[in-house]
Every structure is written in structure tokens, then in C-alpha cells.
Amino acid sequence: MGSTKGGNIGEFEELALLVVGTLNNNAYGVSVRNFLMEETGRKVNISAVHEVLKRLEKKAYIRSEIGGSTEERGGRRKKLFFLTAEGKQVLDRSRELRNGLYNRIPELKFNFSGLL
């Protein structure tokens, strides 16, 4: 049920997990991909999104359920994803680690006096 590597996740896993949490009840493969592309400006392959969602579900950071069919999808049903408590905890730990490291960067002082 738990993850490997002590709860550490990669950047793409972290981004996907954040998007699943952000989209809340509307997180499915295409919506996650579109949100990632909009927010990061990167091209994102739908198969990469499906793979990362499978990995996150296997680690129990997200859970899925099949939603109802819709006319816009020709009667097909969406697989919806939801952030779990464990997923939220891993995001909290990741944020704490990043913030802690960022806060240790010394204040840089630049000397601009000799430039003119």
C-alpha cells in the first residue's frame, strides 16, 4: 500500500498529484493532462499521464472510481481520480522539504557600484 523510497516522489508525480488534488472531483486523464500543459507550458503525453496516475494509485496516494457515462464522450465513462490522505501527507512533506531547503539559501548581496 505505501510507497517506496520513504515517500519521496519525482517531479512529474508531484505535479500530477497536485493537479489531482486541485481538480478535486473532475480529475481524469485528459483533464490532468490539460491542466499540466496549461500550468507548466510543457507538452505532456497522455500516456505519460496515465502511467503516472497508475503509479500514484499503486502507492495509494490517489484512488479512482468510474464516473457516469456522458453524451459528450459517446456514452463512455471517465475514470476519476481523488487525492487520498496519504497523498496529501506526501505533498505536505514534499512542500516542507522544499521550503526548508529554500529558506536555507543565503541572502545574496550584489555589488552594483562598479558597473557604471
Using the structure block, give the residue that is written with the C-alpha cell 507538452.
Answer: 43
Distance of alpha carbon 12 from alpha carbon 103, whole angstroms: 23
Query: Mind listing the pLDDT tens digit of every residue in the chain (116 residues)?
Result: 444 455 789 999 999 999 999 999 999 999 999 999 999 999 999 999 999 999 999 999 999 999 877 777 677 889 999 999 999 999 999 999 999 999 998 887 776 666 65
Q: Are 17 and 61 in contact (CB under 8 A)?
A: yes
Evaluate whether residue 95 is within a structural domain.
Answer: yes
Evaluate whether residue 4 is within a structural domain.
Answer: no
Evaluate whether residue 2 is within a structural domain.
Answer: no
Evaluate whether residue 19 is within a structural domain.
Answer: yes
Instruction: Give the CATH number, domain containing residue 78.
Output: 1.10.10.10
Evaluate whether residue 67 is within a structural domain.
Answer: yes
Number of domains in the chain: 1
Evaluate whether residue 39 is within a structural domain.
Answer: yes
* One-letter amino acid for residue 43 of the chain: K
* CA distances for 45 relative to 34, 59, 79, 109, angstroms: 10, 22, 17, 42
